[in-house]
Structure 1
Amino acid sequence: MKTIKKITQIAENLGWKVDVDKSDITFSQYTTAGQDFSFFVNKNKDIAEQVLDYYEGFDPSEEAILWCDSSGHGKNGAPYHLKDIIADMEEAEEMVGTLYEAIK
């Protein structure tokens, strides 16, 4: 398993902001649409495996719904059109996949 320092360096080279605390590593990055996208893993477990699990469980459509209001339009700075929000979530999914490929 790669060290946290090495994983941090790899992630930062891909544009991620990395925060490490007592038990977790949080990866954050802005999407093209401006969403402050982030997720965390337990630093005491296999980090690459956790990133892969997050990537495989990521559902862009489900994530897009979280960024919409009850009428289906963006809120909190999200794009107005649902197709644009889904495209942004697909980008977020690709970002996680790229991170996994880089640290595995």
Structure 2
Amino acid sequence: MNTDRIIGIAESNGWTATIENKTHEAITFEFSKMTPAGQDFSFCAEMKENDYSNFIENVEEYYQAYDPDYEASQWIGKDGHGQHGAPYHIKDLIEDMIAAEDMIWNLLCEFKDALL
């Protein structure tokens, strides 16, 4: 089954993968992995009509839209430092979000290599 293959690829690359929603038309996966600084990073991707190409396109769209600076800004507290388990220094926080971007890219490449 396509879902098992996607989950297996993610898990073999250190990600936790779950099915968040499943209908006749689409399946939504959630992928989670700890960043180098220890943040629990996750994102969702959808596969329509059991089509790998559609799924990969959805992951690629997420990757293209991912903005490490914006993501880092969501973790900065009123005191100008990381909050809720994020790295304390903004520089470290941005580096961690860039690492998350690299993690998405690497997973995307694994999906492309295995599924296309």
Moved over 2 A (4+): none
Return 5+ residue gaps in structure 1 as ranges: none
CA deviation string 1:34-90 (max 9, x = no partner): 111001012326111111111111110000000111232010011111010000000
TM-score normalized with structure 1 length? 0.92
Report which of the two has the higher share of strand. Answer: 2
What is the DSSP-based 3-state SS (H/G/I as helix, E as strand, rest coil) of the residue aligned with 1:43? Answer: strand
- The match for 1:70 among 78, 95, 116 is 78
The aligned counterpart of 1:90 is 98
Q: Which has the higher contact order (CA 8 A, sep 6+)?
A: 1
Equivalent runs, 1:1-104 vs 2, <5 Å? 3-20=2-19, 21-22=21-22, 23-44=27-48, 46-104=54-112
* Shift of residue 3, structure 1, vs aligned partner: 1.9
> Could you tell me how far apart the structure 1 residues matched to 2:33 and 2:10 are?
10
Secondary structure in 1 matching 2:69: helix
Give per-residue Cα distances to partners, 1:17-39, cap 9 Å, x unaligned: 00113231000111011111001
User: Which has the greater radius of gyration?
Assistant: 2
How well do the aligned residues superpose, as a CA RMSD in angstroms? Answer: 1.5
Residues matched between the structures, number: 103
SS at match of 2:88: coil
- Which one-letter code corresponds to 1:17 in the other structure? T
User: Which sections of structure 2, spanning at least 5 residues, go unmatched?
Assistant: none
